[in-house]
Amino acid sequence: MLSGKTRRELPLYLMLLPGLILIVLYQYVPMAGIAIAFQKFTPFKGWFGSEWVGLDNLRFALALPDAEQVIWNTVYISAMKIAAGLVVPLAISLLLNEVTRTVVKRGVQTLIYLPHFLSWVILGGILIDILSPSEGIVNQALQAIGFKPVFFLGDNRWFPYVLVLSDVWKEFGFNTIIYLAALTSINPVLYEAAVIDGASRWKQTLHVTLPGMLPIIVLLATLSLGNVLNAGFDQVFNLYSPVVYDSGDILDTMIYRVGLVDAQYGLATAFGLMKSAVSFVLISASYWLAYRYAHYRIF
């Protein structure tokens, strides 16, 4: 017999059941494919008929001539994205907090939040048009003031920074909302006390606002460590070309080409397994840091 509490909560568990089934089917069952990383996998032979090669795929993956460059590109681009994704929304949220007219504040929030809902397929097409060296509005403006046109999406010197800036443009509106929510939790009495003490707006921001936002800043910074190897496949895939492989090719795009284009399934799975293992360590470390310095915990 079920207890009274269990009977009351049973509908809630039943509501969770479809989601749990989907998680098991699409997140846990496919994990059996990890075995491909240790095989010379052939689709016609399947898991049981393919030859086992141990760690040969992983050794070969790390020995590839461009593997080191790809790993560096991934870490470099994702680190810049993480840093910019923390600083820019924080600065914008502080500026919006100073806006007193609600209509203006809400309007700006809506405008900067809109790109978050657009896919990189759409934004990629927009950026290709805007940054075109011949007809793009950016290069037309540069030529109007006497500069030569720049091939932003075809120059290894510029491409990583285009990725970072465009990612910030797309996502900083969403992150700004998180910081604005943190601002609402700061006790107004602290500002009143600061005004009585003669603190200017800058001093109030420095000694009241930022310390009040510090827990959420630390939390977002530590949790973002788990994304060091996620430089954004959708974005890079829609913007890069073989011309900028030296500076823009990342682990996810390399796995895509090796696995789906070249049909080297074992090698691609070895790359993916290596990335997942490192990400697992980083995510575990980030949650420990979040608990240690921001008192955030999941369980």
What angle in degrees, to the nearest 10, is found between the helix axes of 67-97 and 102-113? 170
- Specify if 223 maps to a domain: yes
- Specify if 84 maps to a domain: yes
CB-neighbour burial class of residue 267 (10 A; exposed 0-12, middle 13-18, buried 19+): buried
What is the torsional sign of CA 13, 15, 19, 24?
positive
Most distant CA pair in the chain, distance? 83
Which segments of the chain are extended strands (E)? 39-40, 51-52
CB 221 within 8 A of CB 290: no
CB 248 within 8 A of CB 160: yes
- Specify if 153 maps to a domain: no
- Specify if 246 maps to a domain: yes
| Three-point CA angle 220, 221, 227, nearest 5° | 90
CA dist., res. 74 & res. 79, Å (int): 8
Q: Please give the span between the terminal C-alpha atoms of the chain, in angstroms, as a whole number.
A: 29
- Specify if 2 maps to a domain: no
According to the model, what pLDDT value does residue 4 have?
Answer: 66
- Specify if 192 maps to a domain: yes
3-state secondary structure 20-66: HHHHHHHHHHHHHHHHHHHEECCCCCHHHHCEECCCHHHHHHHHCCC
- Specify if 26 maps to a domain: no
According to the model, what pLDDT value does residue 132 have?
Answer: 85
CB-neighbour burial class of residue 127 (10 A; exposed 0-12, middle 13-18, buried 19+): buried
Task: Specify the number of domains making up the chain.
Answer: 1
Q: Which residue has the tokens 């393919």?
A: 50
Long-range contacts formed by 2-11: CB under 8 A, 24+ apart = none
| Three-point CA angle 113, 118, 124, nearest 5° | 120
CATH of the domain at 254: 1.10.3720.10
pTM above 0.85, yes or no: no
Q: b/e map of 176-200 (b: 16 or more CB within 10 Å)?
A: bbebbebeeeeeeeebeebeeeebe
- Specify if 283 maps to a domain: yes
Tens of each residue's pLDDT in the chain, 299 residues: 556 677 787 888 888 899 899 999 988 888 888 888 888 877 777 777 777 888 888 888 888 888 888 889 888 998 899 889 889 998 888 888 888 788 888 888 888 888 888 889 998 888 888 888 888 888 888 888 888 888 888 888 889 999 999 999 998 888 888 888 888 888 888 888 888 888 888 888 888 888 888 878 887 887 787 777 777 888 888 888 888 888 888 888 888 888 888 778 888 888 888 888 888 888 888 778 777 776 766 55
What angle in degrees, to the nearest 10, is found between the helix axes of 67-97 and 56-63? 70
If we measure between CA atoms, which residue out of 198, 220, 205 comes closest to residue 294? Answer: 220
Domain boundaries, position 99: 66-118+159-294
According to the model, what pLDDT value does residue 22 have?
Answer: 93
If we measure between CA atoms, which residue out of 184, 195, 191, 189 comes closest to residue 208? Answer: 191
